[in-house]
Each structure stands twice: as structure tokens, then as C-alpha cells.
Chains A and B, each alone.
Chain A
Amino acid sequence: MLREAQESVLAEMRRWGYRHVITPMVESTEVLERGIGADQRRRLFKFADARGEVVAVVGERTVPVARLVAGKLRGSPLPLRLCYAGPVLSTDDGRFQQRRETYQVGAELVGAPGTVADAEVIALAARCLQASGVQRYQVDVGHAEFFHGIMDAVKLPEEVKAAVRVALAARDFVALETLLEKTPLRSAEHELLLRFPALRGGSEILQAAGGLVRNRRSERALAELAEVQELLVAHGLGEVVSLDLGAIRDFDYYTGIIFEGYGPDVGRPVAQGGRYDGLLARFGRPAPATGFVVQLDLVWEMLIRAARPPALPRIDAAVAWSGSGLKTALRLGSTLRLFGMRAVVDTQAREQAESKTWWRTVGAVNLIHCRNESTVAWTVRGHRTRRLPPEQVAGRLAGGLA
């Protein structure tokens, strides 16, 4: 089921013109550490190869993709639309999230600045969640520069500013309040910081925040958010998009529009992404970039918790055989697959009566038992068995006349 979800998401990405790339599972830590934050660094699975070079299993794939764009793909003109899928490893942080290996599908749009590119990636993320089968989902859009502008404007000694960043990163608003209480100047920026968890809503939130900020960086961020929101409405996603000015993310990494996707009943974001215009330069090919990742494990959790969990992939036909029916069975299998059906041909001879037990274990809709070249016994689940020439069975199945 996880694979099915992964396939649906990748198929959606391909429909948007994203090329599937495969990046290495193991990278030198020196390469990975150029792109990731301290916390992710700590959680890498590291080991030494035969020459003593310290390498690590990738904990995410944006950095490997950036390296690919600056390396093997340096001759390809920008913008590049790339997608990837696969497992990543991160050490457990010692608490309840015990899963070390998780599955991610992601997409990166490299070389395209501006809100149209931002909106494309957000819309793609939303459509990917939809394609994965998640029933209800929403996307919250924020902006890293809104936060940076406030931190520039807020009048605080440097060491207090550093503590403010730490408190915000830990989402500790009690500590934040204590820090800000100690400073005599209470500006609109203070109020905004303290109200971070509640700065979420529709376009009205932009006006409310616009009345409170007096700095160019934050104002430009608000203007970009308004543009992106309008573009997302044009993408047909007005219903699922909200604005979240208080989104707390890795602000050293993200440089512009950021977003998170949420589904029902899972306490963590199922998709995350945003603009990171600084990363590619660290690999020698400066370029703006934006992208996102879908956490497939969380998608899977949502799918199995849904009111009607999706069924396992359906097998269309179980083809059994006995006597001289093997060649007919193999031919029939090929024909059905040619029409896009899923067909399983038995690996051992079974009489018709015994083949029914096998059929049930395969879980197929149709059972076709071949005893010779001229006629086969065809049973549709819940119906009587009919005897027909194999070509007619194939024809009827292909025509959807079962």
C-alpha cells in the first residue's frame, strides 16, 4: 500500500513534467553537512568506508539533488524539474518515534525564482496528497522572510535575539514571553512574535499583520504571500490553502515561501517544503530553488485509519492449468497483461476443483482454468463457471464484459 501511494505521487509529479532522478543512498558526510542543519547532522547514520572516509546514509534527499544539479546535471539548462523517492534513515531521538527508516517522495524546482514557481510547487504538493488517497488535507503557507524582517526590526540585544530564536525553534512560548518581558520596549513586533501560534487564517490575516509590521522584509513577504494565495486559487486550490504567518521552520535554510500539508488525525505535517535559494551556491551552481517532501509513512497511517481503508491492489485473473493446458495458460496470461490487467499464472498443475482453493489465496476476481487448447473454464467471483474458447475469455475480460 505504501508502494501504491508512492507510485500515485510519482505519477502525479511526472504529469507536471518532473523527471524522476535516483540519488545515492550513501554520501560523504562532508557533502551532506554542507546542506543540513545541526539537528539533522546529529541524527545521521554515519560510518567509515574501507579508506576511512566518513560516509552517511542520507537522511533527506534535497541535498543529494542539489549536488546532482550542480554536478552531473550542470550542463542541463535551468529551470530543472526533478523528483525522487526512497527510504531515508535518521537515528531515533531517544523517545517515542522509533521508526528509523522512513519513506519520502519529493520534488524540486531548481532555477525558477518568483511566486509563480512557489505556487506551482505548493499546488503540486497538494495534488500529490490528493493522488496518494488522503481524504481530507490542507496546506498552510507561510514565509521565512516575515520572521527575518521581524527579527531585524525588533529592538533587542543580540544575545536576547539569539535566545528568542532558540525559544521559537523549540516552540517554547513561555520562555519567549519571559525573554520579551525583560525588555522595556514592547513594540508591535513583540506582540507578533508572541502571537505566532495564532497567526493563521485567510487573506484577512495579511491585512491584520500588515498593520503591525513596519519593515521592508516582512512587508515584501506579505505581498508575496498575497500573490501566491491568488495563484493557488487559480490552481483550483483555494479551498485547501490557508496562510500561516507563524509557521516555525528551519529559518537558516528556508529563504522565502514555506508550506506544510496536514491530513486528518495525524499530529505531524505530512508534507513540508519551501524556497531555499541559498543551497545550490554551496555546491558551486548558485540558483534559486523550491521543493517539498511527502512523508509516505504518515500518508500510510492516514490511509489505514480512514473509514474505508484502500484495498490491496486487485489481481484481475488467476490462471490455473492441468493436463496440456500450460501453454494456453501462459498465452492467456500474456494477452491479459497486454490489456493492462494483472494476471497470475499458476506454477503447478491443479485440477479444476483444487484450483478454486488456490484462486482464493491469490484473491483474484476471475479464475480461468485451462485443460487444453480449445476451451477453458472461466469463473467470475460469485457466478457460475462457463466454458469458452480462451480467445473469447480474453476478449470479454479486455472489453470489460465480465
Chain B
Amino acid sequence: MSIAVPTGALMPGALRLLARAGVARLSGEELGRQLLVDRAGVRVILVRPADVPAYVDHGAADLGIVGKDILWETPGAHYELVDLRFGGCQLVLAVPLASKLNGAETWPPQLRVATKYPRTATAWFESRGQAVEVVQLHGSVELAPQVGLVDAIVDLTATGRTLRENGLRVTATLGASTARLIANQASLKTRTDAVQAAVGRLREAVGL
């Protein structure tokens, strides 16, 4: 049985959860050094957050821990089984403090938006009948409106601090994200016992 764990913000919470559930006990340091650790029949694989669905969908990992924000961008054939109730954050629409943009009634006919979440952002505006030009960026999205690249950004925020520090304010929330447990569709069939046992223990550990 193998489980993919994301690097970055969700990693400490994911490892604490795996330990609490008795699935695998290992430190972030150890995993960060080796990327792949086998412990008592469980293989833990450390991958970039956006790569977790790829590992799981292709069956390289039976289970994966991944933020809902990633799943919005990469829907696939996996099962989304459990809300793991950590790593909470919001996907928001933010504009510069001085901007006139606020609710939907203030949006111009064509809105320019920078984001790391093009699919989610496009779908959200489309469902509201708003024409939007999405500029896909890979980092420092907060910078884009300040230099006049876009009118607004769609980005993830937990505390809102980064947004405030960059002179941005939130005008709408597109969705709320937490860490999720996903499973490969074939693993549920071909390794039913081991996979279901792990899923059960993780569910219990988050109090479901």
C-alpha cells in the first residue's frame, strides 16, 4: 500500500495525521531527505502538491493527500474519499485597495484576472456570465495587479496576510479548500483490504 504526501504547507499536517491514524510514523526531515520511505508495509511518497493526482490516477500511489484547490484544477478518475479537516484556506477574488471593483455589478465587460488556478477561475466567472481573460502565473500572483498586468487576482489565502501586505482586499470567495484523501479507482478493487483499512483509520483519526 502506498500513499502520496504533498510537499509544502500540507506536509506537516499530513505526517501528523498519518502518525495519529497509525498508518505510518515518520518525520518530515526523514521524508524530505529520502522522498520515498517504506515503513511496515506502507510506502510514503513525497511529491509536489500539484503532482499528487497524477501519482494517484496512474496507480503509482494507492492513496494521496492533497488540497481541494489542486483537485479543482485537476479532476480525474480518482475517488475523493475523506475531508481531512486540516490545511483550511479560501480561494478568493482580490483587487488592489484603490480599485473600484467590488461586487459583480462593478465588473467591467471584460475582466483581466491573474491566477494559478485558471480552470477554476474560468469556470467560476463563466457560471456568472462574466467575460474574463485569465492570465496564468506560476508564482507571486499578488504582484500582477500592482504593476497593471491585471484588474484582479484569484488566489489561495489562509489568513489574508499576504494579500494585505501587498495592498489587496478580498471581494469574493470562490471556494473553501481543505486537505482531502483521494484513492486510485483500481486500488480500491485490487487491494481492497489494505486500502480500505487505511482509509478507515484515517477517517477515525479526523473524527468522522
Which A residues have a C-beta under 8 Å from some C-beta of B?
A: 95-96, 138, 140, 170-175, 177, 197-198, 200-201, 242, 244, 260, 262, 264-269
Q: Would A200 and B57 be within 8 Å (CB), given that A171-B79, A174-B81, A174-B82 are in contact?
A: no
B189 touching A244, Cβ below 8 Å: yes
Residue of B nearest to A269 (CB): B186
A174–B57 alpha-carbon span in the complex (Å): 18
Is B187 at the interface (CB under 8 A from chain A)? yes
A138 touching B80, Cβ below 8 Å: no
A266 touching B186, Cβ below 8 Å: yes
User: Which residues of the other chain, B, contact A172 by a CB distance below 8 angstroms?
Assistant: 80
A96 touching B57, Cβ below 8 Å: yes
Is B149 at the interface (CB under 8 A from chain A)? no
A265 touching B59, Cβ below 8 Å: yes
CB distance from B207 to the nearest CB of A (A): 13
B186 touching A171, Cβ below 8 Å: no
A174–B72 alpha-carbon span in the complex (Å): 13
B196 touching A267, Cβ below 8 Å: no
A242–B186 alpha-carbon span in the complex (Å): 13
A138 touching B58, Cβ below 8 Å: no
A133–B196 alpha-carbon span in the complex (Å): 29
A177–B82 alpha-carbon span in the complex (Å): 9
CB distance from A274 to the nearest CB of B (A): 16
A173 touching B80, Cβ below 8 Å: yes
B189 touching A200, Cβ below 8 Å: yes
CB distance from A302 to the nearest CB of B (A): 11
CB distance from B60 to the nearest CB of A (A): 8
A268–B186 alpha-carbon span in the complex (Å): 6
User: Which residues of the other chain, B, contact A262 by a CB distance below 8 angstroms?
Assistant: 186, 189-190
User: Which residues of the other chain, A, contact B60 by a CB distance below 8 angstroms?
Assistant: 267
0 or 1 for each of B148-168: is its CB under 8 Å from A? (1 = yes): 000000000000000000000
User: Which residues of the other chain, A, contact B57 by a CB distance below 8 angstroms?
Assistant: 96, 267
Is B183 at the interface (CB under 8 A from chain A)? yes
CB distance from A96 to the nearest CB of B (A): 5
Which residue in A171, A173, A175, A260 is a CB contact (below 8 Å) of B189? A260
Top 4 nearest A-B pairs by Cβ distance? Answer: A267-B59, A171-B79, A172-B80, A174-B83
CB distance from A256 to the nearest CB of B (A): 20
A244–B192 alpha-carbon span in the complex (Å): 11
CB distance from B204 to the nearest CB of A (A): 14
User: Which residues of the other chain, B, contact A96 by a CB distance below 8 angstroms?
Assistant: 54, 57-58
A138 touching B78, Cβ below 8 Å: no
0 or 1 for each of B50-74: is its CB under 8 Å from A? (1 = yes): 0000101111100000001000001
User: Which residues of the other chain, A, contact B54 by a CB distance below 8 angstroms?
Assistant: 95-96
CB distance from A118 to the nearest CB of B (A): 19
B58 touching A267, Cβ below 8 Å: yes
A140–B189 alpha-carbon span in the complex (Å): 8
User: Which residues of the other chain, A, contact B189 by a CB distance below 8 angstroms?
Assistant: 138, 140, 200, 242, 244, 260, 262
A174 touching B59, Cβ below 8 Å: no
Residue of A nearest to B178 (CB): A174
Which B residues have a C-beta under 8 Å from some C-beta of A?
A: 54, 56-60, 68, 74-83, 180, 183-190, 192, 196, 199
A173 touching B59, Cβ below 8 Å: no
B183 touching A197, Cβ below 8 Å: yes
Q: Would A197 and B190 be within 8 Å (CB), given that A265-B59, A268-B59 are in contact?
A: no
User: Which residues of the other chain, A, contact B82 by a CB distance below 8 angstroms?
Assistant: 173-174
25 cross-chain CB contacts under 8 A? A96-B54, A96-B58, A171-B78, A171-B79, A171-B80, A172-B80, A173-B79, A173-B80, A174-B80, A174-B82, A174-B83, A197-B79, A197-B188, A198-B196, A200-B188, A262-B190, A264-B190, A265-B59, A267-B58, A267-B184, A267-B185, A268-B59, A268-B77, A268-B186, A269-B186
Further 12 A-B residue pairs, CB within 8 A, beyond A138-B189, A267-B184: A95-B74, A138-B190, A170-B75, A174-B68, A174-B83, A174-B180, A197-B188, A201-B192, A266-B186, A267-B58, A268-B77, A269-B186
User: Which residues of the other chain, A, contact B192 by a CB distance below 8 angstroms?
Assistant: 200-201
Residue of B nearest to A173 (CB): B81
A260–B188 alpha-carbon span in the complex (Å): 13
A265–B61 alpha-carbon span in the complex (Å): 10
Residue of A nearest to B79 (CB): A171
A140–B188 alpha-carbon span in the complex (Å): 11
A265–B2 alpha-carbon span in the complex (Å): 12
Residue of B nearest to A260 (CB): B189
CB distance from A94 to the nearest CB of B (A): 8
CB distance from B181 to the nearest CB of A (A): 9
Residue of A nearest to B180 (CB): A174
CB distance from A272 to the nearest CB of B (A): 11
User: Which residues of the other chain, A, contact B187 by a CB distance below 8 angstroms?
Assistant: 267
CB distance from B188 to the nearest CB of A (A): 6
CB distance from A187 to the nearest CB of B (A): 19
User: Which residues of the other chain, B, contact A269 by a CB distance below 8 angstroms?
Assistant: 185-186
Q: Would A266 and B185 be within 8 Å (CB), given that A95-B76, A200-B192 are in contact?
A: no
A170–B192 alpha-carbon span in the complex (Å): 20
Residue of B nearest to A178 (CB): B83
User: Which residues of the other chain, B, contact A177 by a CB distance below 8 angstroms?
Assistant: 83
Which residue in B59, B77, B190 is a CB contact (below 8 Å) of A171? B77
User: Which residues of the other chain, A, contact B185 by a CB distance below 8 angstroms?
Assistant: 171, 267-269
Residue of B nearest to A265 (CB): B59
CB distance from A139 to the nearest CB of B (A): 10
User: Which residues of the other chain, B, contact A197 by a CB distance below 8 angstroms?
Assistant: 79, 81, 183, 188, 199
Q: Which of A96, A200, A244, A267 has the most CB of B within 10 A?
A: A267
